[in-house]
Amino acid sequence: MIRQIALFFIFAIVSAPGMASIEIPLYEKGSDVFYLSGSIDGLGETEFLLDTGAGYSAISDKSLRILEQKTDVRYLRSLNSRLANGWVSKVEIYSIGRVEIGQECVLNNVEVAVVPGLSRNILGLNALRQMGHFSISFSPLALTVGRCQ
């Protein structure tokens, strides 16, 4: 009886609605980093550098100015952040309304660090955390996530 209950419980978890994974294609551009396509409400189509070492997703100050004119962005806080070059810099954190990753994954109210002069958008751990579990496969090259909003 206990075994039957345990098997039912496992089956219910595996087959629960919303548990299906979503596969998002990744691509390389002649380097050892991965990119993915997406869009940011107010900016349009863009690409993101996938950075599992970044605590926050990031956009440039130029992108922020455009978003402030076109959408409802909210300032949240400032914090000291260690950048990839090892320097510590003060960055401002904003919430942006909607980010689409690939063609099937929508994230709402994504916190982003605004980095002056940033040359590309970064998809960091905070956005990946919103997607539940994630994994990267190399054949095919893809980011697989557990959920999107």
Rounded Cα gap, residues 13 and 88, in angstroms: 43
Is 32's pLDDT higher than 50? yes
**The pLDDT of residue 96:** 95
Share of the chain above pLDDT 90, in %: 68
Q: Which of 10-14, 22-26, 67-71, 99-103 has the lowest mean pLDDT?
A: 10-14
**The pLDDT of residue 9:** 36
CA-based max dimension of the chain:
63
When the pLDDT of each residue in the chain is averaged and rounded to a whole number, the result is: 86
Sheet holding 134-138, edge to edge: 22-25, 141-145, 134-138
**The pLDDT of residue 56:** 95
By the 10 Å C-beta count (0-12 exposed, 13-18 middle, 19+ buried), 146 is classed as middle
Is 149's pLDDT higher than 90? no
Beta bridge partners of 105: 101
Is 36's pLDDT higher than 90? yes
Contact 24, 145 (CB under 8 A): yes
Single out the residue of 114, 107, 99, 94 nearest to residue 40, CA to CA: 99
